[in-house]
Amino acid sequence: MAFKYVTKADGSKQDFDRERIVKTILRVGGGEVDRITAEEIASEIEKRSYDGISTKKILEMLFNEYLKPYKLIVPFRNNLRKSISLLRSKPDFEIYIQLLLEQLGYTITPNCICQGKCVEHEIDAIARKGTETILVEIKHHKNHHTPTDLDVCRNTRAVFEDLVDGYNDSKNSLPITSAMIVGNTKFTRHAERYCNCRGIELLAWYDLESIIEEMKFYPITLLKGLDIKENHRLIKENMITLQQLVESDGKQLAKKLDLSQEIVEDWISKSKKILSG
């Protein structure tokens, strides 16, 4: 079989790793998928893969085709889509996406006021990488079945144009090159058509899901056993991802939260298991 490369979410390439797919299947399968079945699925995906295939495409095949018949349950782990919807729109989801974009290699300026040609605009984030300076609109829906509509896309385009005109008139120092909308739901067909026509990049739910799963950049709300108040208290202590929780000092965190160290260490232990799965 010809040697293959996989394109990761950040654009880098790595060798196709069949065993990595097997481990992902076993991790998300929660005991519903055995090793033999996982290896068979991985072999099928390998046959269908091509040189340069994206990890997003591999995960789409995995979740939308091969794993659809199974009930995916992972110990200590909530459903990812629901976990994302449990984040508050502001500031939780905005901070989470800003951190995620940083993981993808962007330099982020969060929540800034930028002067356009006509008016000032409150911007969720400015993302920079190489020659790109991107206006980022972050859209969160509590109901993860609610699609992001055309109005959001038209508003983003209008802000983009006003900022570009403002730069050309020396009213701001942002050489904006493009716009991006990141959302935790699907986009309507009209919204997708408009953005494709206007050159606005979309990171809709399935794009987001693929990136999060690939990078294991899980929100704190993924951890089972936490109630809403505990989630909010952790986020207030800058613990918005499981990785941040794992890297924290359990003793100090327990003191800040006024909880027993045993409870916090249990959260950390479960988070480690999720991330190592």
Is domain 218-276 given the CATH code 1.10.287 in the classification?
Answer: no
Chain center to CA of 139: 12
pLDDT of residue 1: 47
CA within 13 Å, CB half, 221? 17
- What distances in angstroms separate CA 32 from CA 20, 105, 213, 272, 273, one per listed residue? 18, 35, 19, 21, 18
φ/ψ region of 139 (left if φ > 0, alpha if ψ in -120 to 50, else beta) reads beta
What's the rounded Cα separation, in Å, for the pair 190 and 261? 51
d(CA 270, CA 177): 42
Q: Which among 176, 175, 271, 174 is positioned nearest to 218, based on CA atoms?
A: 271
82-214 against 218-276: fold identical = no
Q: Where are the domains of the chain?
A: 5-66, 82-214, 218-276
Q: Tens digit of pLDDT per residue, the chain (277 long)?
A: 456 888 877 678 888 888 888 888 877 765 677 888 889 999 999 999 888 898 888 888 887 788 777 655 555 677 888 899 999 999 999 999 999 999 999 999 999 999 999 999 999 999 999 999 999 999 999 998 899 999 999 999 999 999 999 999 999 999 999 999 999 999 999 999 999 999 999 999 988 988 998 889 999 999 988 888 999 999 999 999 999 999 999 999 999 999 999 999 999 998 988 887 6
Q: Is 264 helix (H, G, I), strand (E, B) or coil?
A: helix
Instruction: Please check whether the domain covering 82-214 is classified as CATH 3.90.78.10.
Output: no
Buried b (16+ CB within 10 A) or exposed e, 199-219: ebebbbbebbbbbbbbbebbb
pLDDT at 181: 98
- Residue 268 has what pLDDT? 93
Which residues neighbour 250 within 8 Å (Cβ) at sequence distance 6 or greater?
261, 264, 265, 268
Specify the pLDDT at position 196: 96
- Classified as helix, coil or strand, 56 is helix
